Structure 1
Amino acid sequence: MEITILPDECISLIISLTSPRDASRLSLVCSLFPSAVNSDVVWRKFLPHDYHQILSNSALASSMDSLSKKQLYFHISHHPVLVDNGNMSFATDKENGKKCYMISSRRLSIVWGGTPTYWLWKSLSAESRIKIKFKSKGL
C-alpha cells in the first residue's frame, strides 16, 4: 500500500504518535509530510493537555489563539512564560513536550522566610524575569 494514498488527517494522526523531534524530521522524508507535520492535530498532542488553562493568565494569553499549535509549542519551549502573577515561569521541554516550571522564591514556603535575621530579599535588575531573589544570611 502506498502511503501517498492516505488522507492528510490519517498521516497527521500517525505522526502525532511519535515525538516532536521525529515529527520535525518526518517533514523531510516525503513531499506529503510537511502539510501533515504542520497540522494542529500533530502539535496539539505534543502540548500539555492543560496548556490553555496554564497560559490563560499569562502575557501570552491574548496571542495564544492566533498562533498555530506548532508555533505555540516552539514558542513556549524556547521562551518561558511568566504565570501565577509572575511567581512562576512555564515552558515545555523541546524534546518531549513535558512541563517545566521555575518557581520564584516568593512562592516557596521557607522557614523563617519573613525574618530579616536569617533571610534577605534583594531586588534584581529590571531586565531579569524574576524581580526579587531570596538570600540566606548564612548564620
Structure 2
Amino acid sequence: MDVTIVGDINRLPEECISHAISLTTPPDACISSVVSHAFRSAADSDATWQCFLSSDYSSFLSQSVDPVDYASKKELYFRLCDHPLLIDGGLMSFGLDKSSGAKCFMISARALTIIWSTDPSYWKWITLLDSRYSQ
C-alpha cells in the first residue's frame, strides 16, 4: 500500500518555522523569506533574530557611548553588523559579523599600553577624520 502524505508547510505555526530558520544562518534566514508569506513572517520575527544575536548583546548596548535605537531584533542585528558600537568610553568597538553573527571587537590605540607613547620622539598621536576613534 502506498501512502502519500500531502501537507502544506505554510500551515505550521510561525513559532515552528521561526525555530527552524533560527537553526540556519543569518543569510539563510534572509533568503528563506522569499519562500512564502509564512516564511517571511517567521524570518523577520524577533524570535528568529534573537537567536542570531549574541546572548550578551544587551550588556554591550548598555555600554554604548551613543544610545542605540531599533524597531526589531533584525534591524538591531544589521545595525551591529554595519555600524559597530563604541563602548568602554569610546576606547573599544563591538559589532557582529554579518554572515555568522560572531562578535567582533576592535580596540583603539589609546586603550593599549604603548611604550614611550608619551614621548613625541617615539610616538605621535594623530586624529583621522574617518576613524571610529578620536585618535
Regarding TM over 0.5, the answer is yes
Contact 2:10–2:38 at 8 Å: present in 1 too? yes
Amino acid at match of 1:74: F
* TM superposition shift of 1:91: 1.1
Whichever structure has more strand as a proportion of its residues is 1
> Which has more helix, going by share of residues?
2
Residue ranges of structure 2 left out of the alignment (5+ in a row):
1-6
**Contact in 1 for aligned 2:32/2:39 (Cα 8 Å):** yes
- Which of these residues, 116, 121, 126, is aligned with residue 120 of structure 2? 116
Match of residue 67 from structure 2 = 60
Match of 2:4 in 1: none
Match for 2:124: what amino acid?
L
Residue type of the alignment partner of 1:75: R
1:39 and 2:45 equivalent? Answer: yes
Give the corresponding residue for 1:7: 13
Q: How far 1:96 moved relative to its partner?
A: 0.7
Name the Cα RMSD after superposition.
1.6
What's the offset of the Cα at 1:14?
A: 0.7
Which residue number in structure 2 is paired with residue 99 of structure 1? Answer: 103
Q: Secondary structure at the match of 2:30?
A: helix
Q: In the alignment, is the contact (CA less than 8 A) between 1:26 and 1:33 conserved in 2?
A: yes
Q: Which secondary structure does the structure 2 equivalent of 1:120 belong to?
A: coil
Larger Cα Rg: Structure 1 or Structure 2?
2
User: For structure 1, which runs of at least 5 residues remain unmatched after alignment?
Assistant: 133-139
CA deviations 1:39-63 (Å, max 9, x no partner) are: 11110111111100011121134x3
